[in-house]
Amino acid sequence: MDDVEIAVATAEDIDGVHRLEVEAFPSPWRREFFVSELTASGRFNLVARRGGKVIGYVFAMWFFDEMHVNKIAVTRRERRRGIAAELMARCVEFARIHRIKTVSLEVRVTNKGAQEFYKMLDFQATYVRQRYYPDGEAAVVMTKTLPS
Ligand SMILES: CC(C)(COP(=O)(O)OP(=O)(O)OC[C@H]1O[C@@H](n2cnc3c(N)ncnc32)[C@H](O)[C@@H]1OP(=O)(O)O)[C@@H](O)C(=O)NCCC(=O)NCCS
């Protein structure tokens, strides 16, 4: 982690973010979607870079006392090094400062690795949203409640 830089995502990061998105997700967001998220209000979008290259990102939105993690990914060869945990720690710290009460997200029912990752961060599976993804797969909604 020493040579990993965590920073607010900028327009220069979008090519790298989108490359990773396509590598990491079966139904990736379109590039334009990330571009519009950069300037949308109530967003908290971070990248992890090594040597200037994007190796991870988290795109989150928040409103009043709720935060929702839209996207998080780390490039395959950089996984299990604590990079996603650090990105989520920054989200939770931001949430704490803004008196946000819950952080939530959706994860594919078959994505057991990501579910384990969220459990490790004290997220709890709250319910299943059937046919949430474009290919018809269901999502598990997971939520973390922050201490008030
Ligand atoms: C999920 C993902 C973001 C995790 O990124 P990461 O940087 O590898 O995660 P970390 O190294 O911070 O993991 C921290 C801990 O979470 C748990 N964890 C992470 N990935 C795991 C996996 N695949 N299986 C089981 N536990 C896992 C472990 O406890 C891990 O600690 P350890 O490595 O000391 O055992 C990454 O696997 C990824 O990009 N997956 C593809 C995209 C995706 O599924 N995103 C989530 C969609 S909702």
State the DSSP string of 9-49.
--GGGHHHHHHHHHHH-SSPPPHHHHHHHHHSSSEEEEEEE
pLDDT at 1: 81
Q: Which residues contact 102 (CB under 8 A, 6 or more apart)?
A: 65, 66, 67, 143, 144, 145, 146
Q: Has residue 15 been placed in a domain? A: yes
- Cα–ligand 1 centroid distance for 60 (angstroms): 17
Q: Has residue 114 been placed in a domain? A: no
**Residue 2's pLDDT band (boundaries 50, 70, 90)?**
confident
Q: Has residue 37 been placed in a domain? A: yes
Distance, CA of 125 to CA of 44 (rounded, Å): 23
Protein residues with CB under 6 Å of any ligand 1 atom: 24, 72-74, 79-85, 105, 107, 111, 113-114, 116-117, 120
Q: Has residue 48 been placed in a domain? A: yes
Give 112-147 pLDDT, tens digit per residue: 999 999 999 999 999 999 999 999 999 999 999 999
pTM more than 0.95: yes
pLDDT at 148: 80
Q: Has residue 115 been placed in a domain? A: no
Q: Percent of the chain at pLDDT above 70?
A: 100
Total number of domains constituting the chain: 1
CATH of the domain at 84: 3.40.630.30
- Cα–ligand 1 centroid distance for 113 (angstroms): 6
- Cα–ligand 1 centroid distance for 58 (angstroms): 13
Q: Has residue 124 been placed in a domain? A: no
Q: Which residues contact 33 (CB under 8 A, 6 or more apart)?
A: none
Indicate which atom in ligand 1 lies nearest the CA of residue 86.
12
The protein residue whose alpha carbon is closest to atom 27 in ligand 1 is 117
Joined tokens for residue 74: 């780390």
Residue 58: domain span: 4-104
